[in-house]
Amino acid sequence: MREFLPLMIVGAIVGVFSIIFVTAYLLMRRRAESAGFDRHMKDGEIMARLMVYARPYWKQFAGVLALMLVSIAYDILSPLLVGRIEEMIKARFELPALFRMVAIYAGVLVVSMACTYVQAIALQKTGQKILSALRQDLFTHIESLSHEQLNQIPVGKLVTRVTNDTNAISMMFTNILVTMIKNVFVIIGVLVAMLLLNYELTLMVLCFVPFVILFTVIFRKFTRAVFRKVKDGTTDINTYLSENLSGIKITQIFNQEGRKLNEFLEKSARLKKAKQQQIFVFGVFRPMVYLLYISSVLCLLYLGGRGVIKDSVVFGQVMTSGTIVSFYMYVSKFFNPIQTLAEQFNMLQSAFASAEKIFAVFDMQPEVVDEPDAMELETLRGEIEFRNVWFCYKPEEWVLKDVSFHVLPRQTVAFVGATGSGKSTILSLICRNYDIQKGQILIDGIDIRKIKIASLRRHFGQMLQDVFLFSGTIRSNIVLREESFTDEEIWAACRYVNADSFISRLEGGLNEPVHERGNNFSAGQRQLLSFARTILHKPAVMILDEATANIDTETELLIQDSLEKMKNIGTMLVVAHRLSTIQHADNIILLSHGKIMEQGTHQELLHQRGAYYQLYTLQYNKERLEAGE
């Protein structure tokens, strides 16, 4: 009884720590339930969708697997070789025999290291190809989403999906999966070697495996939930930063730095709490596996050492010093992969949590898509017709109500009315940024739903009040990375819209750098660049949504002159608050609460003395007052 007292002590220690682990499990479960964790996607579903990206590279993965099996030979053979060397030294073998054994050991090590190096290089190259394909598909899918869908998703969230979350998946392909497979093979190989060396001691080591399985099952239950919370916290912070760094000037103007800092600290505290839960989950699991490893080593040293010292038989087999050394190394190689599996499993859950976020974006089906029989539109005359169009952003909250009008090719039509009357909505519907609920929109007599979206928009040029310029140069913003345009064509477009007057004064000319959102140019200069961009691409229909708003008087004269020239290019649709800028339009449509109240030329509407007359009179009197008349 006394001989097995150490084993009983080890068993008691394992039992105490098992109780601690179960207590930690209950605590984690309570935290998970209070946080409302739920499992959104099954592991099998995630792997099946991820394997779509890995399948084209199955040959590379097969080669890596072959190299991995060769490198595993070191983990399996090295304990046997070391044990044999120890016995040769103890038995005082001749040096040539000892040298041969050491050379074999070194050879196995070199081959294993070479295979590991080639395997790592191959995995990194393959992983980057998979990452590139995934990011490209994700970005392409985001581009296909409708304006309404993009308005509902914060930019910071999309940035996180394309960058952080795809990186986590890349780690899965380049490191996690292969390492996990390797560790599984190492565990199996080591177990077989242990059984061949001494099956009784192997059974003793396996007595600790049920505890490992129990802890792993419990550990797995909570890692995904914790990682979801970490991913959500990271996305929340990225979204907050994206929005508030863009609007930091407003924050400074209204002296709101302190409040914004407190909001950021609150979000950081939530992410910190999620990270602490992640550390807590993993911090409980790994020490338990390490305890089981130490316990098995203690049992091995006690039973094996007792057999060698007393020259006795342990569990029916003779013990030698070489057997103990080999078995000690095997026990280490048996439990180390299990601990590594825990780390890899930790990272795998992170990758799965990221995959859930990415596939949630992929699962968003675009609301505006091509019809199965949609056609290409090679040429466009510019005839536009609305037939009894009804449209709403939210169900039953109609923005347009039974709107009908007809625009002939090369006509200039202006839309006026109070804010929220539906002017900008009409322009968005013509480009099919949204789909209408009732009625028809016709282009050259064809329902726009029968035309491919890309083909339709190719014939439109939009000039908005808030001009967006990309980081790059003036040239790249005008041609939009379409390198087929020559410098002569670019300058001709700039001269046509009077943009050449300020571009020629710049040191870099067309190669002048453009900062983020074009912040190094005035509003008028940005607008002239948008005009040049539109003219260069030769649209059949031009759309101007408050393009002359917030412009200084000098620049407005240039823009007005540009607009007069642009009328000769094609059909022009204009939304403007300044009625003085649309007096020469072929037709003016006055909207109110989503309905057409009046339409006609400027003079016709004035003679009617209706709503347009009242609106024009108010603006005219206001301008006279501002002029001091």
CATH (domain of 98): 1.20.1560.10
Count of helices and strands (H, E) across the chain: 22, 14
Residue 31: what pLDDT? 44
Q: Is it the case that residue 372 has pLDDT exceeding 80?
A: yes
Same-domain status, 437 and 296: no
Same-domain status, 328 and 202: yes
CA distance 108 to 146: 59
Same-domain status, 132 and 240: yes
Range of the domain at 387: 380-459+574-629
Q: Is it the case that residue 399 has pLDDT exceeding 90?
A: yes
Q: What is the pLDDT of residues 474-516, one digit of tens each?
A: 998 899 867 788 889 999 888 888 888 889 998 889 999 998 7
Same-domain status, 346 and 255: yes
Beta-bridged to residue 313, according to DSSP, are 318
Q: For the domain that residue 404 is a member of, what is the CATH number?
A: 3.40.50.300
Q: Is it the case that residue 193 has pLDDT exceeding 50?
A: yes
**By the 8 A CB rule, do 388 and 438 touch?**
yes
E strands, 345-470, where?
384-394, 397-407, 412-417, 438-443, 446-447, 460-464
- Chain position carrying tokens 């001989």: 3
Residue 23: what pLDDT? 46
Least confident span in 27-41, 68-82, 230-244, 337-351: 27-41
* 557 in a structural domain: no
Residue 334: what pLDDT? 80
CA distance 67 to 48: 25
Least confident span in 57-61, 197-201, 572-576: 197-201
Domain end position, chosen among 362, 389, 410: 362
Tokens at residue 13, please?
A: 């220690």
Long-range contacts of 219-222 (CB under 8 A, 24+ apart): 219/281, 219/282, 219/284, 219/285, 219/342, 219/345, 220/345, 220/349, 221/29, 222/28, 222/29, 222/32, 222/281
Q: What is the pLDDT of residues 103-142, one digit of tens each?
A: 887 887 888 888 888 888 888 888 888 888 998 999 999 9
3-state secondary structure of 444: coil
Q: What is the pLDDT of residues 523-536, one digit of tens each?
A: 888 888 888 888 88
Q: Indicate the pLDDT class of residue 34, thresholds 50, 70 and 90.
A: very low
Q: Indicate the pLDDT class of residue 33, thresholds 50, 70 and 90.
A: very low
Same-domain status, 143 and 221: yes
Q: Is it the case that residue 342 has pLDDT exceeding 70?
A: no
Same-domain status, 220 and 277: yes
Residue 25: what pLDDT? 45
Backbone torsions φ then ψ of 316, nearest 5 degrees = 90, 0
* 627 in a structural domain: yes
**By the 8 A CB rule, do 326 and 80 touch?**
yes
Q: Is it the case that residue 575 has pLDDT exceeding 50?
A: yes
Q: What is the mean pLDDT of residues 555-584?
A: 77
Q: Indicate the pLDDT class of residue 35, thresholds 50, 70 and 90.
A: very low
Q: How many domains does the chain have?
A: 2
Residue 448: what pLDDT? 94
Same-domain status, 418 and 326: no
Helical packing angle, 523-536 and 487-496, nearest 10°: 120
Same-domain status, 335 and 396: no
3-state secondary structure of 315: coil
Beta-bridged to residue 571, according to DSSP, are 541
Residue 343: what pLDDT? 66
Q: Rounded to the nearest 5 degrees, what angle is found at the Cα of 358, between the Cα atoms of 354 and 362?
A: 160
Residue 425: what pLDDT? 92
DSSP H or E stretch at residue 590 = strand 587-592
CA distance 75 to 73: 6
Gap between the terminal Cα atoms of the chain: 115
pTM above 0.85, yes or no: no
Q: For residue 48, with 0-12 CB atoms within 10 Å meaning exposed, 13-18 middle and 19 or more buried, which class applies? A: exposed
Same-domain status, 341 and 386: no
Q: Is it the case that residue 371 has pLDDT exceeding 60?
A: yes
CA distance 291 to 215: 12
Same-domain status, 152 and 252: yes
Same-domain status, 212 and 324: yes
DSSP H or E stretch at residue 565 = helix 553-566
Residue 604: what pLDDT? 93
* 305 in a structural domain: yes
Tell how strand 384-394 and strand 397-407 pair up: antiparallel
For residue 435, give Cα distances in angstroms to 150, 252, 395. 15, 40, 13
Q: Residue 460 has what DSSP assignment? A: E
Least confident span in 125-139, 148-162, 211-225, 369-383: 211-225
- In terms of Cα–Cα distance, which of 524, 528, 544 is closest to 478? 528
Q: For residue 60, with 0-12 CB atoms within 10 Å meaning exposed, 13-18 middle and 19 or more buried, which class applies? A: middle
Same-domain status, 148 and 264: yes
The rounded mean pLDDT for the chain is 80
Q: What is the pLDDT of residues 422-447, one digit of tens each?
A: 998 999 999 898 999 999 999 999 99
Residue 156: what pLDDT? 77
Q: Is it the case that residue 72 has pLDDT exceeding 70?
A: yes
